[in-house]
Amino acid sequence: MSNNHPIHYKISLEPDLEQFRFAGTVEITLETEYAADEIVLNAIDLNVMTCKIRQAEALVPCSLSLDLKKEELKIRLSEATCGRIVLVITYQGQIGDSMAGFYRSSYVQEGSSRYIAVTQFQESDARRAFPCMDHPSQKATFDIEIIVNSGLSAVSNAAIKAVRALDSGRQRFVFETTPKMSTYLVFWGVGDFKRVQKAGEKRVSALTLPGMEPYAGFGLDFGCNALSFCEDYFAIAYPFSKLDLIAIPDFAFGAMENWGAITFRENLLLRYPGITSKSGEGRICEIIAHEIVHQWFGNLVTPSDWKYLWLNESFATYFGYGIVDHYHPDWGVWDQFLYGQTAVAMSRDALIENFPIEIPGGEHVVINSSTAPIIYSKGGSILRQIHGYIGEDHFQGGLRRYLKTHAYGCAASDHLWQSLETASELPVTRIMKSWIEQPGFPLLEARRDGRKLTISQHRFTYLPGDFAQTWIVPVTIATFSSSGASTRLNMILDQPLQTFDLPEDTAAYKINAGQTGCYRVKYQDPANLKALGIAIRNKTLSPEDRWGLHADFFALLIRGDVTLEVYLDFLSHYDDEDAFLPLISIADTLSHLWLILEGSRRQISAAAIPRLESILNRIGYEAHPDEAYTRAILRDQVLWQATLIGSSAATDFARSRFALMKAGKAVSPDILKSTMQIGALTEGQDAFDWLEKRYRESTSEQERVNVLIALGGFTDKMVIAQALDYVIHQVPARNQFIPIVSMAANPSAIPLLWDWYTANLPKIETFHPLLHERLITAIVPSAGLYRPEEIRAYFTDYLSGSEKAKDAIKLALEKLEINLQSRKSHQGEMSG
């Protein structure tokens, strides 16, 4: 426990955007609990010039030392001191391009490179911009002032208090004092920002680069709505006088919830008419809502330690979708949540190399490709599970109590459980501890004997393992009588093996009704599975339940419990399927099997192509402006998957649309991505030349992303090599993972990826760690199928000398082993 607690920071900065350096002064008011002769701050990559310490009116002599390994600035006092003291530290730093700390971001205007400088501090990079106590529990108030060149502006968490002209021709921006907050939420930015506001709503603004103002209205409107929703739902007013939504060109993450000054990748805030798809619009809204929810969960109430980071991210994930659904109930948002969050979480959580939502022992948590699906997606899915268990009124009441009790302070998981338990009078603490304090999730195996239903539970993993784990599972069972009547049973499974009574005349039962639970189900009763198949075909079951049965069946296939022949036979129940959720799931799983089961590709294509073409025939190849959002998402994805697997109908349609694009004619934004991909797949070098020109000339970040995805579609080895060279030399670091992820799903490109990665590793290691990890998790599970021993040995040697990307490497290697297991189990099943 630290002896020193910050009360207030006053930060003064002079950034130089020509030399990419800055000078700073930080004045820290501290309270010390007991007499000590040392104060420890966090600092790294800073040149600390001077330090003065005042207590009352007296100066206290001190000396400095920097521990680079611990990232600590140690200040030794001449005598032990207790009480309130003030440190004044002057320092200098570099404005680098690492997308961490205080960094520069470039853009092109009138043919010349221009720069802005912004901050990104989560989780522990505030120390790169000012000496501080860089831990979420060490909250303080902040006064910030920034001197900038004439013609530039400055932005920070709080509103501008004053702008003062200096004799040098520069300007000093002085900002209002912030509420009590953590260092990782501090933000400042300098550049030629353009402010956009909505008529009648002056609190919320969008800040863009010059020329991007016309694209900010859509996100700005939704930001205003999301802020109003949160104030109403949580019953606590937003504490700042303003909220800025800031579009940043170079950004490692998708967005960041800096209090009062949220930053975004440009294409996650700006909507480009004729380019941004319905899927893109939904993503913009979900990301904006996610970050605005953080203004309460994370900013107002902050985790007392990084082990409780899930309290921020899980709520932002869950409510991010909920807010979009509130304003756009026709968008099928909760179907997208199950597909984009719950399914992703359960795939990640089925790995042996794993950890709980709440990291034990207070270990530092890093958001990366390994941790994000657990902290964000699994956490959000567990909240959906407990929300369903205690009900809406109790859930909302508990959250209001939690936020009100801990406002401007810090909280741990137990504080949330106590609030929900008080509101609901249900055993929330006991249930939730079993879900957040241990890794994984259970497989429920069900066997029926008359009215007796016996359910066992054990941990589900794709690879074999022995785990002595038990969960307290809120189980919901839908039962169906011979007459078709349905009953819903709610029960708690808290033992490894339990028996429950079914109603009389139960002809069939479906466990996890509504798919609110985070577990897999395996039915040991063939008659019940057959009856559920009929219910799928007849659509007696909801789309969520039809999706859940398929998702469980496919997971059992990957685990080796079900043969490929049995799985494909099970798909016949979905021949007349018309709902987004089961259809997109089936399209994904068939594409995955086609990719990894190389020896059975012809046979899988024969099964997959008619099914994918049936989806396109049902929803139509042509996109329509007023159609359902989920239909648009499904078409764009299936069009590409069907073409890649070998559908001539899908290929012919997309090639005709690519021809229109090359002729300068408009194509629906809802099929732009797949059309470009298929153009690359079918037209090789000509397509590369056209895409490269399109990328170079585009001013839309979303269009550039579409082009980068398309670069993963080539089949000619020479063109793939050309594309790979283009990626490493011409594509900004923030986006290099995009075409590589695309190539990792293209069997023509996969064999070239590993050599590209190892040849360019010295440069890749200079990227933000998250970007390096994304490359590893994309490349290894697929490229490793061709050279597994080499890749295993390479990373064994790599990890012996470095901790870099350790979590991502372990995750990627286990995914490789799962793919190899699938090949061994299923490769020859359909070779005839």
Return the bridge partners of 29, or none: 8, 86
Return the bridge partners of 142, or none: 9
Residue 286 annotated as catalytic: no
Residue at 517: amino acid letter: G
Q: What are phi and psi of 265, to 5 degrees?
A: -60, 145
Could you please report the per-residue DSSP string of 644-683?
Answer: HHT-HHHHHHHHHHHHHHHTT----GGGHHHHHHHHHHHH
Rg (CA), the chain: 28
Distances 206 to 75, 190, 581 between C-alpha atoms, Å? 41, 15, 34
* Of 584, 673, 582, residue with least CA distance to 623: 673
Q: In what side-by-side order are the strands of the sheet with 153-156?
A: 101-109, 112-120, 188-191, 153-156
Burial, 445: exposed, middle or buried (Cβ in 10 Å; 0-12, 13-18, 19+)? middle
Q: What are phi and psi of 418, to 5 degrees?
A: -60, -40
DSSP code, position 423: H
Distances 544 to 516, 525, 745 between C-alpha atoms, Å? 9, 22, 27
Half-sphere exposure of 504 (CA within 13 A, CB side): 0
Other residues' Cβ atoms within 10 Å of the Cβ of residue 162: 10
* Of 545, 550, 427, 403, residue with least CA distance to 486: 545
Tell how far CA 63 is from the center of its chain.
43
Half-sphere exposure of 514 (CA within 13 A, CB side): 18
* Of 590, 595, 584, residue with least CA distance to 557: 590
User: Could you tell me the maximum CA-CA distance found in the chain, to the nearest angstrom?
Assistant: 90
Q: Is the peptide bond before 123 cis (omega within 30 degrees of 0)?
A: yes
Q: Which of 291, 421, 701, 817 is catalytic?
A: 291
Q: Mind telling me the catalytic residues?
A: 291
